[in-house]
């Protein structure tokens, strides 16, 4: 009996080192990506671009976010906003900015045809039809960019094999624990996963904060209409472009995204929705995330360690490698100031995320804007019947 116990304990202690290996490899992946210069692209390549911005409501940074797109150092582009209806709170602000920047080509659209459960996709389909130019730049309403953003993200499209360009995002968070934990999770953990995926198999997805593609590639992947009922529209967009033969470029041109204050329930529901989205999109990879979570394995190793010094070694290794990965990826690489100021919260975020990861297996239901959906084969189906817009 004792031999069996020792065998199981040894196995657990061995498995507990898997996250440490993952942390080290993530650091190497970050050093490889951020430590190199982007591939040389023609500086004179700056075709006219249409910026598509589906908007729903406002947040604490909406004015600065919208204005940042009006201050681009780029020869020719237009900005197309879309709202659900004329009563959207963002409409007066968009009109104010249109008047403030008369030199910019800004147009506002409302009341898109409802193509499915994901209202954002319906708005994108409408904007793509109205866009004057072939290059399409997709960003959410809570995204802010620097003045050289367009030059940086459009340039790779000079190579016809490039189907889409996507970007990491830094956090601008309100003074709220939930907002900080969410921002820390993206910068210290999610981005590491993106870099590891790029290293192992190449990028086969895009990140919703910034997506640059062309009308031709949208047509090749089936059009925005094909995504009308998908929950992870950004992931599906990138995957379908990849399957259509397009290469996905992960740009070093980083954008910013807002993290507003939220209640405990709102934070939990948002984290759970995001986790279930990832699980349903990449089920095997999501299951494998168990071996990237250092905190629960470290706690288990500490409890089973045959000697105090071994327990201490596991705990110290977790802290050193986990914080080193967070710093290398999120602070040094992406330049996230929220993570830099709150690095000490990384273990707390890891504890919360392990609970979210476990809870994500309970069902295929998600809550989005007070509407409950079940996910069937990647499609959102409103619970209770009828088609209700997700956003």
The CATH number assigned to the domain holding 258 equals: 3.90.550.10
Let me know whether 267 and 308 are in one domain. no
State the pLDDT confidence band at 379, using cuts at 50, 70 and 90. Answer: low
Q: Report pLDDT for 229.
A: 82
Q: Give the mean model confidence (pLDDT) for residues 355-363.
A: 92
Phi, psi of 248 (to 5 degrees): -105, 125
Question: Quick check: 88 pLDDT over 60?
Answer: yes
Residue 388 lies in a domain: no
What pLDDT score was predicted for residue 42?
A: 54
Q: In terms of domains, do 29 and 44 share one?
A: no
Lowest mean pLDDT among 36-40, 209-213, 376-380, 386-390: 386-390
pTM, two decimals, is 0.90
Q: How many H helices and E strands in the chain?
A: 16, 11
- Indicate the length of the chain as a whole number: 391
**Quick one: 180 and 302 in the same domain?**
no
Share in percent of the chain as helix, strand, coil (round to 5): 55, 20, 30
Q: What is the mean pLDDT of residues 32-42?
A: 71
161 and 68, same domain (yes or no)? yes
- Chain mean pLDDT for the chain: 91
Sheet holding 371-376, edge to edge: 365-368, 371-376, 379-382
Residues 93 and 197 in one domain: yes
Decide if 381 is inside a domain.
no
**Average pLDDT estimate for 104-113:** 91
Q: Residue 377 domain-assigned?
A: no
Which residues form the domain of 332? 2-33+289-370
What single string gives the DSSP state of each residue in 138-196?
Answer: E--TTEE--TTHHHHHHGGGGSTTEEEEEEEEEEEE-S-HHHHHHHHHIIIIIHHHHHH
Domain boundary among 237, 260, 280: 280
More confident call, 37 vs 212 = 212
Question: Which residues, including other chains, have CB under 8 Å from residue 38's CB and lie 6 or more apart?
Answer: 251, 252
Q: How far apart are CA 191 and CA 168, in angstroms?
A: 8
Same domain, 263 and 345: no
Partners of 212 in the β-ladder: 137, 165
Question: Phi, psi at residue 279, to the nearest 5°?
Answer: -60, -40
Say yes or no: 12 and 140 in one domain. no
232 and 91 in a common domain: yes
Which residues sit opposite 199 in a β-bridge? none
Res 384: pLDDT = 65
Q: What is residue 39's predicted lDDT score, i.e. its pLDDT?
A: 52
How many distinct structural domains can be found in the chain? 2
Q: How far apart are CA 260 and CA 111, in angstroms?
A: 26
SS3 assignment, position 373: strand
**Are 298 and 150 within one domain?**
no
pLDDT number for residue 276: 87
72 and 157, same domain (yes or no): yes
Residue 34 parent element (H or E): helix 18-34
Confidence tier at 389 by pLDDT (50, 70, 90)? very low
Asked if residue 324 and residue 261 are part of one domain, the reply reads no
Shared domain check, 329 and 206: no
386 in any annotated domain? no
CA distance 105 to 266: 37
């Amino acid at each position: 009996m004792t031999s069996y116990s020792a065998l199981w304990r040894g196995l657990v202690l061995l498995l507990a080192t898997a996250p440490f290996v993952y942390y080290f490899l993530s650091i190497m992946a970050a050093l490889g990506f951020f430590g190199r210069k982007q591939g040389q692209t023609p500086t004179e390549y700056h075709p006219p671009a249409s910026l598509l911005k589906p908007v729903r409501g406002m947040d604490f940074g909406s004015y600065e976010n919208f204005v940042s797109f009006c201050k681009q150092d780029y020869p020719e582009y237009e900005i197309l906003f879309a709202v659900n209806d004329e009563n959207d709170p963002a409409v007066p602000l968009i009109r104010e900015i249109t008047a403030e920047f008369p030199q910019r080509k800004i147009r506002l659209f409302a009341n898109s045809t409802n193509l499915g459960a994901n209202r954002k996709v319906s708005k994108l389909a409408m904007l793509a039809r109205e866009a004057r130019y072939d290059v399409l730049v997709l960003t959410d309403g809570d995204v802010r960019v620097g003045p050289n953003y367009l030059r940086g993200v459009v340039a790779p499209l000079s190579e016809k094999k490039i189907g889409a360009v996507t970007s990491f995002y830094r956090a601008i968070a309100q003074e709220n624990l939930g907002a900080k934990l969410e921002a820390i999770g993206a910068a210290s953990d999610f981005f590491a996963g993106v870099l590891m995926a790029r290293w192992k198999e190449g990028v086969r997805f895009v990140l919703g904060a910034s997506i640059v593609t062309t009308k031709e590639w949208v047509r090749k992947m089936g059009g925005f209409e094909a995504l009308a009922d998908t929950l992870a529209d950004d992931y599906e967009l990138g995957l379908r472009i990849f399957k259509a033969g397009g290469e996905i470029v992960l740009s070093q041109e980083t954008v910013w995204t807002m993290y507003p204050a939220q209640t405990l329930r709102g934070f939990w529901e948002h984290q759970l929705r995001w986790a279930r989205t990832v699980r349903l999109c990449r089920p095997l990879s999501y299951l494998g995330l168990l071996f990237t979570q250092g905190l629960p394995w470290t706690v288990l190793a500490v409890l089973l360690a045959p000697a105090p010094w071994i327990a201490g070694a596991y705990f110290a290794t977790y802290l050193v490698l986990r914080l080193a990965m967070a710093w290398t990826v999120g602070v040094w690489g992406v330049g996230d100031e929220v993570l830099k100021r709150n690095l000490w919260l990384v273990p707390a975020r890891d504890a919360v995320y392990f609970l979210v990861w476990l809870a994500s297996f309970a069902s295929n239901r998600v809550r989005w804007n007070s509407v409950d959906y079940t996910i069937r084969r990647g499609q959102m189906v409103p619970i209770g019947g009828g088609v209700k817009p997700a956003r």
